[in-house]
Amino acid sequence: MTLEGRVAVVTGAMQGIGAGISRVLARNGATVVLTDVSPRVEEMARAITAEGHRAEHAVMDVTKPEQVVEVMSEIEGRHGRVDILVNNAGIYPRRRLVEMDEEFLHRMFEINVFGMFRCAKAVLPGMTERGYGKIVNMSSVTGPLVGAPSGGQTAYGSTKAAVVGFTKALALETAQSGINVNCILPGYIHSPSAYGLRGSTGDSDAEEKMREFGYKIPVGRQGTPEDVGNLVLFLASDESSYLTGSEIVIDGGNILQEEYLGPYKPR
């Protein structure tokens, strides 16, 4: 599988899953433009370049329609095209419905759902003209398939279920144009934003708590951003040309458990 000669744009690429995806795509030959609301995305792009791969960066807030159009046109102008779009940017603060205000709800949908509409809309005309494109949207097992026992995920779950609907409808709309649109439903993936949600009280105990948390998962560990990156690599490659409108779970077997039989410590 190679992405040699392909141009990829990843949203929310400053850290976590987006950074892992960017690293894997770049290692496999793509020129990757890492985008994020945070200017610190530059550091991640530099780290990938330092490994000897092609990575660039751009500040792009997916809640700003004009900025999305501007950044995507600039990338298309520089490279002649965008072949791969990974709609990864997303937030997952928890709040119970009765404690939620309109602002919280709107922000969640602005980033997690409308952001994907904007980015896809910006690259679709070029992809359609060239008859080639790969769009990968980041959903979650939370929403379409399961809910967290601790609650507080009505907004998040709704946004991630919306991503599945968006993916399927767009896949149909673009199937005749050589464009594949699929979505990924990760379970527990190791990322800094998840530390607090998985038992850590600060940086000092984060790695230990994340490891312990992983023993609840059948394969005995949380996923890495690169695990998700490897799946994106397949979906972004020519080898996945017959796959569109699919939802793929990547969770170490976690949602298979009807009854918890762990801890699944590695032997």
Ligand X SMILES: NC(=O)c1ccc[n+]([C@@H]2O[C@H](COP(=O)([O-])OP(=O)(O)OC[C@H]3O[C@@H](n4cnc5c(N)ncnc54)[C@H](O)[C@@H]3O)[C@@H](O)[C@H]2O)c1
Point out the residues that are catalytic: 156
Query: What minimum distance in Å lies between the beta carbon of 169 and ligand X?
Result: 19
Q: What values do phi and psi take at 135, rounded to 5?
A: -120, 125
Q: For ligand X, which stretch binds (CB under 6 A), given 10-18, 97-105, 116-124, 210-218? A: 10-18
94 in Cβ contact with 156 (< 8 Å):
yes
Which residue, 12 or 252, is less far from ligand X as judged by CB? 12
Which residue, 62 or 155, is less far from ligand X as judged by CB? 62
194 binds ligand X (CB under 6 A): yes
Query: What minimum distance in Å lies between the beta carbon of 141 and ligand X?
Result: 7
Which residue, 132 or 155, is less far from ligand X as judged by CB? 155
Query: What minimum distance in Å lies between the beta carbon of 160 and ligand X?
Result: 7
Q: Which residues from 16-55 bind ligand X, rule CB under 6 A? A: 16-18, 36-38
214 binds ligand X (CB under 6 A): no
15 binds ligand X (CB under 6 A): yes
Cα–Cα distance for residue pair 190/256, rounded to 1 Å:
19
Cα–Cα distance for residue pair 91/112, rounded to 1 Å:
7
State the residue for tokens 């599988």.
Answer: 1
Given 186, 214, 229, 252, the residue binding ligand X (CB under 6 A): 186
Residue of 124, 139, 157 whose CA lies nearest to 232: 139
Sheet strands side by side (includes 133-138):
55-59, 31-36, 7-10, 84-87, 133-138, 179-186, 247-250
Given 192, 196, 253, 262, the residue binding ligand X (CB under 6 A): 192
Residue 186: cis peptide before it, omega within 30 degrees of 0: no
Which residue, 36 or 56, is less far from ligand X as judged by CB? 36
* DSSP state letters, 15-67: SHHHHHHHHHHHHTT-EEEEEESSTTHHHHHHHHHHTTS-EEEEE--TT-HHH
Which residue, 3 or 21, is less far from ligand X as judged by CB? 21
Q: Which residues from 139-158 bind ligand X, rule CB under 6 A? A: 140
14 binds ligand X (CB under 6 A): yes
Mask for 88-117, x = binds ligand X (CB under 6 A): xxxxx------------------x------
- Residues lying near ligand X in the complex (CB under 6 A) are found at 11-12, 14-18, 36-38, 61-63, 88-92, 111, 138, 140, 186, 188-189, 191-194
